A and B are shown apart, each in its own frame.
Chain A
Amino acid sequence: MQADTAMTAELLGAASAAAVLGAGLGALPFRGTRRGMPTRWLAGGQALAAGCMIGIGYLLLEVGLGVAPGTAGAGLALGIGYAYGVRWYSGTLEVDPLPDTAVDGPHAARLVLVYALHAAAEGIAMGAAAACGLRLGLFAIGSLALHNIAEAMGLLGALVQRAGRAPGGAAAVAVLARLPQLVLALLTWSLLRTVPGLRDGTLGFAAGALLLLVLLEMLPGAYRELERPRIAVLVSTAAGGVVLGWAMLGPAGG
């Protein structure tokens, strides 16, 4: 990979904040719809978001494995263990992000926790990518910002259609649940600037966490609501789009 210019704290903060706020755009389809969003659309959004995460996970691994395969590989396993352990410890292993029944207060709180824990792993990915340079950082944050819109629709669907919350208030909650992205992106980037030796392991760690979340959390509910071929097309297209986008916009293509 060619040399990339360094990310700055201000730019990272602004880009991550924009990505977090982008989650609020997921509320737009809920405004003015009397019967709400079909659950299959929400499942399609989850599949697209899952594909984006697979693509980002691949790119992080490509960089990490290219420099230090052993360290990145160990980080990959640790990331999988971390993401699974956090879900197990928090008692949210079986919380479905696309609930198909009514959602009461405690259930809604657990859903918000699931989305916040999910956002924390994505924040680590943003920070790790930013530590590799400006281009990869902005590309990863931009991709995750787009994925935030599709993914937030799942939480909004649960809060608006299953828990009876107003779209505006639900959008605010969706944005708040994405805040860990901003915080973890800045923390991870700062840590890796201070201790550069941790970078390749952290790239693997972030990739492992993203892949585990896709396979454990996002896809089971999506398959329940949408036909397999549609899921396969959406996930494959989104993942391929991210990899192709980096080939076009990254150092090799730009």
Chain B
Amino acid sequence: MGEQLLQVFAVATLTALATGLGALPLLLLPAIRPRAIGIGNALAAGLMLGASFGLVLEGSARGAWQVMAGAALGAALIAAGERWLRHRPVSFGALSGELARPAVLVVSIMTIHSAAEGVAIGVCFGGGPNLAALLSVAIAVHNVPEGLAISMVLRPRGASVLRCAVWSVVSSLPQPLLALPAFAFVEAFRAVLPYGLGFAAGAMVYLVFLELLPEAYEQAYPPAVGLLASLALAAMVVLQSWLG
């Protein structure tokens, strides 16, 4: 169990660190086009939807009702968390007021988002190594454009590229922190696994429609967003099926 916990923690930490890679393009390019972030968000949305399909498929074999109950709880928790954060007075490092609000919102939402992903990683390790490996890769890949999105908000407000990378990684720290109890919870109470799988799927689906897709539509050509998100979803579903 201890070795498995270490493995879960290591994988979840790597997915969190991948978020920091999103700041790197700011070193190479004088200005990042919003379109690139939109494309990244579209790919991430498709990968997460495909991963959610896999979670529901996996969970439904153990109990469809439980999966849907967990999904409703996951979506509700993310909705409540996002709503609560949106109505707080905010400051962010040296920033305050109107300058700070977008930065705090983006980092906060990405942090809530990554909490769900941490739960997903932990629960998926309980569901089997193939699903866990696929989901971890998907989350690590989609963390990169998220890090870019965070950096694109912070950098124009005076943050250095290093600070952008650090905040990007910080926004993903709930992944290793929540992956551990989620994994331990699933291991200890295997009966609640379908609830956990549903929870992760519901949280991810809700976040896709709350954040990733609308941002992608705003930042890139909508038909291209639709096509890329669909193809990413298909790739994820096929990969999961191929690996069984």
Instruction: Please give the residue numbers on chain A whose beta carbons come within 8 Å of chain B beta carbons, in ascending order.
Output: 58, 61-62, 65, 69-70, 72-73, 76-77, 80, 84, 87, 93-94, 208, 211-212, 215-217, 219-220, 223, 228-229, 231-233, 235-236, 239-240, 243-244, 247, 252-253
Contact = CB atoms under 8 A, between A and B. Distances in A.
Contacts of A80: 227, 230-231, 234
Contacts of A220: 217, 222, 225-226
B227 to A, nearest CB: 5
Contacts, number: 111
A94 B223 contact: yes
Nearest to A212: B230
B71 A240 contact: yes
Determine chain A's interface SS by DSSP, over half rule: helix
6 contacts: A58-B56, A84-B230, A211-B234, A215-B229, A219-B209, A228-B214
B190 interface: no
A100 to B, nearest CB: 14
B224 to A, nearest CB: 9
B126 interface: no
A103 B234 CA distance: 35
Contact of A69 (B60, B65, B82, B242): B242
Nearest to B210: A232
B48 interface: no
A52 to B, nearest CB: 14
Interface of B: 53, 56-57, 60, 64-65, 68, 71-72, 75, 79, 82-83, 202, 205-206, 209-211, 213-214, 217, 222-223, 225-227, 229-231, 233-234, 237-238, 241-242
A216 B217 contact: no
> Which are the 8 A-B pairs with shortest beta-carbon distances?
A216-B226, A247-B64, A69-B241, A73-B238, A215-B226, A232-B209, A232-B210, A220-B222
A85 to B, nearest CB: 10
A216 B57 CA distance: 25
Contacts of B225: 215-216, 220
